Amino acid sequence: MSIVYHEGSKTFHLFNGSISYIMTVMRNGHLGQLYFGKAIRDREDVSHLLEVCERPMTSYIYENDRTFSLEHLKQEYPVFGTTDYRQPAIEVCQENGSRISNFEYKGHEIKKGKPRLSGLPATYTERDEEAETLTVTLEDAVSGVRVRLLYTIFAEGGVLARSAQIENFGSQTARLERAMSLCLDLPDSGYEWLQLSGCWARERHIRYRSLEQGVVSIGSMRGNSSHEQNPFMALKRKNTDERSGEAIGISLVYSGNFRIQAEVDAHGTLRALAGIEPDTFTWLLKPKELFQTPEAVVVYTDQGLSHMSQTFHKLYQKRLARGYWRDKARPILINNWEATYFDFTEDRLIEIAGKAKECGVELFVLDDGWFGARSSDKAGLGDWTANPRLLPNGIKGLAERVEGLGMKFGLWFEPEMANKDSDLYRAHPDWILSVPERNASHGRYQYVLDFSRNEVVDAIYGQMAKILREAKVSYIKWDMNRSITECYSAALPPDRQGEAFHRYLLGVYDLYERLTGEFPHVLFESCASGGGRFDPGMLYYAPQGWASDNSDAVERLKIQYGTSMCYPISSIGSHVSVIPNHQVFRNTPLHTRANVAYFGTFGYELDLNQLSEAELEEVKGQIAFMKRYREVLQFGLFYRLQSPFEGNETVWMCVSEDQKTAIVGWYRVLNCVNGQYARVRLMGLKPELCYRNSRTGLCHYGDELMNVGLITSDETAGQVPEGIAPYTDFESRIYVLEVEGP
């Protein structure tokens, strides 16, 4: 790993064993992009990569020079209006109304390690040797606004972290109207665009788009990263698959309004931008004030999509997630929500917890309905004190009873919201986001608290911290059950209302930081009506997230497969739920529900008291299996083998760090008869090792399993004979492949 600056050619080269990133100071002082891709050897001068030529209908920078135009140059942090007609990375409105800027190179600094981003989640290092950071300073001489571009290259993997700091060194106020985290100009557009899209209950489905001249984009204007779009995008070559080929992944470490886009110009070059959604953002920069953009992470690979994902997984698992739970296998939990909804008593909860303990569950979680005047979703949010009618001994007493069973206790909060029927709202009606003299819209009968205000965050922190200090709470499920409307803060002046969305999110991050700092052993799980804020920003504070409110095993195949494109398996909240499923009313076998949920944090979303004795024995076996293999399942290398978006069967697998244990999940949605013989070529095994198949007892060398394949045919390949257990729709199997001996 190294960052080299060649003074003679004014060229920067960031490289490690996997990638090279090369840029240069161009003749106009702007920073130009020369190369991003597989590592190449360093050399003093690669200026020939900066291609210029005369083109019709082009505007040029210099008199008597019809070659140098920003319209046709690859740049690092471009502006609009000075010969570049593409969408810019930054736009600064000055007091005279002009949006023209000219950011010229002023200097740079190279340091070992990686700086923290004030108030924002970001990747980090634990030792300086893990990374180097280049900070390039650009300045607009007229306005006095400076931009510091931060580039961190890690010692291992094809990873580059990017962000920008914008500071006003001038004498007049400036207004940021766009401040993207990353611009990546590429020399060609021969890529396929991959995005993770959907809506509530079908989040993060994989979608592909072809790139043509024009703009392709995803984003959110909902105040959260959203169920609809995830702040992740990949550009893959058309021949790239899971096993081989080039891909570039871009992930924004942010939980609010965002935009990621690709613009193809008339000559086939491609500009990728990622950052805060500019249509819902402005930021006033008075003299000496500074704005920090969120971090964007870009990954390059030439070894296929699974390798790209594994690079994200390792980074986000070990250098984005933090704290006590980062490296620990997650406890197996049971959540009472789908078992009781709002209809419970303390004794009923203990009954559920007791049966779960008998089966081997380690953590009981009390969900919504325990606080204030809460008996439905119309009241109580904002009043975080136990309802004595339901919990006569309070949270402290319930937690003690659960702990007395030999289990840990967890609790649900929705701290960013308030009902109008709450003591909090009655005392502080101005604490919700709403516009004076206009209607305040609700979602689920609740309103969004103005977390841009310190006093609001302080009040919620005080209530939550009091409970955590008094009661033995080991886990918190942090929910957010609506998107933001009427984003107006009564505490901000008119010229700063464009800051409300971002300031709100800074308040959320601040509350997370304070709670995780004071209660470092509490496991936080983020949730936003399921997967509405499943993003890298949340992983910095909560190492796992509830992936979707849809717990149906068949639907979860697509949700979890898509989620794995960027996010580690240890972050994916996945549970076995009751049938008929409460979202799609489908009946799936108990073993299939578990076989899907194993590839995540694993838990139960039902009342085990309602199961038969045979089912309870099956649950006990599931829990024993998960306890034995959860290190491999949650922290092993994950490979996608067959996609639920392309056929009737889904296959994925996890491989242990030492490559001696592999667990393959095989799933078939609809049954068949007289079907074909089937094999799946595995990945990530050691060719010379012999692996015993838990289902057949046979041993197979790794090279056979990876090149010939694992046979997955069953009796449906032909006519099912009598005496064989009937096969059904929604079938699944787990194959454990283990090397015997040392």
Q: Check the CA dihedral 26-30-31-34 and report its sign.
A: negative
Q: What backbone torsions phi and psi does residue 553 show, to the nearest 5 degrees?
A: -65, -40
Percent of the chain as helix, strand, coil, to the nearest 5: 20, 30, 45
Instruction: Compute the distance between CA of residue 665 and CA of residue 600 in angstroms, rounded to an integer.
Output: 12
Beta strands in 319-456 (DSSP E): 333-335, 363-366, 408-413, 417-418, 447-448
Which residue among 367, 421, 535, 549 is the active-site one?
549
Three-point CA angle 638, 642, 644, nearest 5°: 105
65 in active site: no
Instruction: Please provide residue 300's backbone torsions phi and psi, each rounded to the nearest 5 degrees.
Output: -115, 140
479 flagged as catalytic? yes
At 553, which amino acid appears?
A
From the number of C-beta atoms within 10 Å of its C-beta (0-12, 13-18, 19+), residue 13 rates as buried
Roughly what angle, to the nearest 10 degrees, separates helices 346-359 and 394-404? Answer: 30
The two structure tokens encoding residue 625? 């299996």
**Type and span of the H or E element at 500:** helix 500-518
Containing 347, the helix (H) or strand (E) segment is helix 346-359
Question: Which pair of structure tokens corresponds to residue 55?
Answer: 């083109």
Q: In 39-171, where do the E strands start and end?
A: 90-93, 103-112, 131-140, 145-154, 159-168
Which one of the listed residues 84, 185, 421, 479 is annotated catalytic? Answer: 479
Work out the widest C-alpha separation in the chain, in whole angstroms. 89
Residue 410 contacts residue 366 (beta carbons within 8 Å): yes
User: Which residues have C-beta within 8 Å of that of residue 328, sequence separation ≥ 6?
Assistant: none
8-state DSSP, 115: P
What is the CB neighbour count within 10 angstroms for residue 8?
8
Distance separating alpha carbons of residues 432 and 445, to the nearest angstrom: 13
Which of the residues are catalytic? 479, 549
